Amino acid sequence: MHLPLLPLLLAPALALPTPPSPPYNATVLILGGGVAGVIAARTLARLAPSTSFLLLEARTELGGRLQSHRFPGYTLELGANWVHGTHTLGFDAVNPVWEMVERWGVQTVVSDYYGSITTYDHTGPVPYLSLLNDSLAAYATLVAHSPALAASSNLSSSARDGYSSLGYSPHTPHEHAAEYYTFDWEYADAPERTSWWASGSSTNNTYDPTTGGFSRTNHFSTDPRGFSHFLTQEAHEFLKPGQVVFNATVRSVRPFYPTASIEIELTTGTVLRAEYALCTFSLGVLQGGIRWSEEVMPPAKREAVRGMSMGVFTKIFLQFEEKFWFDTEFALYADPHTHGRYPVWQSLDHAKFSPGSGVLFVTVTGDFAKRVDAMPEEEVKAEVLEVLGRMYPGVEIPEPTSFHIPHWLSDPLFRGSYSNWPAGFTRAQHAVVRAKTGGRGRVWFAGEHTSERWFVGFLHGAYYEGVAAAEEIVECLRGGAGCAEVMDFEAL
């Protein structure tokens, strides 16, 4: 039995512990309470228990992009929803997120992406599963060829280049929808703008146990407590009330020269100082929204950060009095004119999920998601209902009893959903994105976007990056050789 999280959730906005030594508020400041931030804090607590740290979180709860919303009687996941890969018998790799999900009893079910799907276009139900299977085969070949690209150092090709070299090119609306389902829905962007090598690398490192991946299963959270339950419970195991500062939005990050430390200014005007800082903000926030001193964000790093892509993956939720739609888990809609126009549908009113809930949601990504993010919600709802009317021409589509759309792109705390590796973006540039800065190497960066192996929003990527950054900070605390060294950005 575990005690409730009230000591954490009700901590005063700026209830700071006694500074360890003037002028510091803590030895380490961790900026952001998502997976990378919480796991970094846990690593510090385990490896350097006497080290003081503060975890600064702009919201009133931990979780980052693990966010839930309530419809009457049901919990919906607005952001991260799946554990991607778990464990394959006979192989060593185990997804650490899966281990936490199991430890805290989070309820999940396996999603059947390709075995439980119905296909539609603007005329209604139309069978084109064979095209979906063709697209899946092309995608499997695409990612299978990515290791050869790395070996040859040919990393500039786009996934579209890869598809073309393999003789795969969609032409009809049905073919485009099938490709969207296998590619855009995963990377939150189109093949033209995505690296062939990197897209294959992240997929292989997650799903293929022969290359160090976990398994080919995807577990969808159905837990009424919210998917973030595993992270908040993990945090409760080691965090003390004074170690978390909620409602703490960072305005600027800069060195504090009198003591060669780091100074963090909050939007409230409060200034905090520490020997070291770990920034776990999303790539979108790094690209704009924080005032960085040039020592913390030198021009070469700023350019590299802007060179990486921040994808947008938006779920649009509807609840109806009665179910009138497909009995499969998924549905795919092929629009006759616009790529990515309300294409991927998921039913939560399904025996595996929440039967009787009347909940349906559709996902949009990339440019179309950016358009939707800027639209009035009533206009979005009207378009979604219009598409449902095309999918079911003989049905009078009712008004939903509940409707919700998250705005990841326009939310200043995230500025998008998760990172993507664009075509032409190099491994050297990514090393700059990940590299520590801040005078004598006082500021680290960690998150799914800093993971070369597991970017594109994978929670396990954020997990491993949080561990790695915290371990490096501990090494510095112990006086490790070369700790103050900073990458020569201009040389790269």
Which residues are documented as binding site for FAD? 57-58, 250
Peptide bond into 127 cis (omega under 30): no
Residues annotated in a binding site: 57-58, 250
Distance of CA 403 to CAs 95, 169, 434, Å? 34, 36, 38
Q: Count the helices and strands in the chain (H runs, E runs).
A: 16, 22
Which has the closest alpha carbon to 313: 151, 185, 143, 140?
185
Which of 452, 368, 466, 446 shows the shortest CA–CA distance to 199?
452
Question: How many angstroms separate the CA atoms of 234 and 37, rounded?
Answer: 12
Residue type, 154: N
- The Cα 471–Cα 446 span in angstroms is 12
Q: Is 474 helix (H, G, I), strand (E, B) or coil?
A: helix
The side-by-side arrangement of strands in the sheet containing 330-334 is: 124-125, 117-121, 330-334, 344-347, 359-365, 313-319, 402-404
Please give the Cα distance from 127 to 129 (Å, whole number).
Answer: 6
DSSP 8-state symbol, 210: G
Residue 356: count other Cβ atoms within 10 Å of its Cβ: 11
Contact 104, 431 (CB under 8 A): no
Vertex 446: Cα angle to 252 and 421 (nearest 5): 105
Give the span between the Cα atoms of 59 and 279, in whole angstroms: 16
For residue 266, the cross-strand partners are 250
